[in-house]
Amino acid sequence: APPAAVTDLYTPFWEYAVKVMKERLPDLGPYPIPEGYVHKEAMTGKGKRAALVTTDAYAYQTPKLRQIRAAHVQGGAALQVLNYVIFPHMNYRIPFFGADLVTLPGGHLIAIDMQPLFHTDEYKAEFYDAFKAVHAKHQAVLPWGGDFPAEAAQFFSPCFLWTRTSGDEAIQGPVFDAFKDYLHTYLDFVDAAKPVSDPAEIEAIKASHKAYLTYRAEKDPARGMFLRFYGEEWTEEFIHGFLFDGLVALEQGYTPPVAASA
Ligand code: DBV
């Protein structure tokens, strides 16, 4: 018989990320999570198919990184999600870190990227040229994930790692290896990042964050799942009040913090 599917594939990813962030981001501190959204559970299905689905939220920040957050959904071997995004403060040109690690009854869907703010040649040279060979190495051992919504293409980088696969070994081996490389490279960007002070450039960065946040909040592929499990009020607050809360921040007059030393 095939080995029983692993019911907790993504905890090692998140534990690794927290360990590395604690090592590499000395200013790491907690980021507030709205009351009642740290942990949620509900029963789904009936009879023999009844199962508990839990969602846990985690969040941090640093002087350069406005919000580092993750949502971890666990409902047995056929329902596991770790969605992990880092949103820099809007006076830095660095990309977003984005990982969407999804296991559903049909298999695993994995998206890992450092999502660009701009699509200029200069931006590509700054952040992606040096990493292209690493991306190619990882993508070569994972089947390309196929079509994704055309609208989403503008939010991915030339180093978008995208796979649909089955078998837990692929997650524990090549996907985990790729995740580590992307996270370390991203933290290299954070180390090197210098604040932007030109108001016009800050406005351009804010506009790019706004477009990304708007797309992701409106098109969140998890909305249907969350609605089924936890209802509308919880779902919309989780999406707008936590997962993509930068939109609210911008509406409320967000301005990037003044850097202590440039
Ligand atoms: N995706 C999220 C959050 C999730 C989540 C916050 C906490 O942004 C889970 C949960 N993603 C999730 C689920 C699915 C996907 C799919 C449950 C499966 C939905 C389904 O099949 O029912 C990358 N995630 C996807 C898809 C892509 C991504 C391309 C396939 C969507 C499709 O085919 O319609 N990451 C995702 C994405 C962006 C990103 C769309 C856009 C910038 O960064």
Other CB atoms closer than 10 Å to residue 222's CB: what's the count?
Answer: 19
Residue nearest to atom 18 of ligand 1 (CA): 221
Per-chain mean pLDDT for the chain: 96
**Is residue 262 pLDDT above 80, yes or no?**
no
Per DSSP, what are the bridge partners of residue 80?
74, 103
Q: How large is the average pLDDT for residues 142-161? A: 96
102 Cβ inside 6 Å of ligand 1: yes
Pocket test of ligand 1: the residue of 109, 110, 209 to mutate, having most ligand atoms within 8 Å of its CB, is 109
* pLDDT tens, position by position, 155-192: 999 999 999 999 999 999 999 999 999 999 999 999 99
Is residue 47 within 8 Å of residue 56, measured between CB atoms? no
109 Cβ inside 6 Å of ligand 1: yes
**Is residue 1 pLDDT above 90, yes or no?**
no
Q: Where are the alpha helices (DSSP H) in 85-171?
A: 121-127, 132-140, 168-170
The encoded tokens of residue 97 equal 């870190």
CA–centroid distance, 101 to ligand 1, in Å, is 9
Task: Give the pLDDT score at 46.
Answer: 87
**Closest approach atom of ligand 1 to CA 220:** 8
Question: Three-class SS of residue 17?
Answer: helix
Rounded-to-10 torsion of CA 27, 114, 80, 180: -70
Q: How large is the average pLDDT for residues 19-39? A: 97
Residue nearest to atom 4 of ligand 1 (CA): 222
Q: b/e for 54-79, b at 16 or more Cβ within 10 A?
A: ebbbbbbbbebbbbbbbbbbbbbeeb
Residue nearest to atom 41 of ligand 1 (CA): 152
* pLDDT tens, position by position, 94-114: 999 999 999 999 999 999 999
CA–centroid distance, 261 to ligand 1, in Å, is 37
Residue 49's pLDDT band (cuts 50, 70, 90): confident
Residue 2's pLDDT band (cuts 50, 70, 90): low
The encoded tokens of residue 56 equal 């846990």
Task: Give the pLDDT score at 85.
Answer: 99
Other CB atoms closer than 10 Å to residue 33's CB: what's the count?
Answer: 18
Other CB atoms closer than 10 Å to residue 170's CB: what's the count?
Answer: 18
* pLDDT tens, position by position, 109-120: 999 999 999 999
**Of 84, 54, 86, 56, whose CA–CA distance to 70 is shortest?**
84
Task: Give the pLDDT score at 29.
Answer: 98
**Of 195, 196, 198, 186, whose CA–CA distance to 157 is shortest?**
186
The encoded tokens of residue 223 equal 């909305």
Element (H, E) at 162: strand 161-165
* pLDDT tens, position by position, 186-244: 999 999 999 999 999 999 999 999 999 999 999 999 999 999 999 999 999 999 999 99
Residue 5's pLDDT band (cuts 50, 70, 90): confident
Q: How large is the average pLDDT for residues 24-52? A: 94
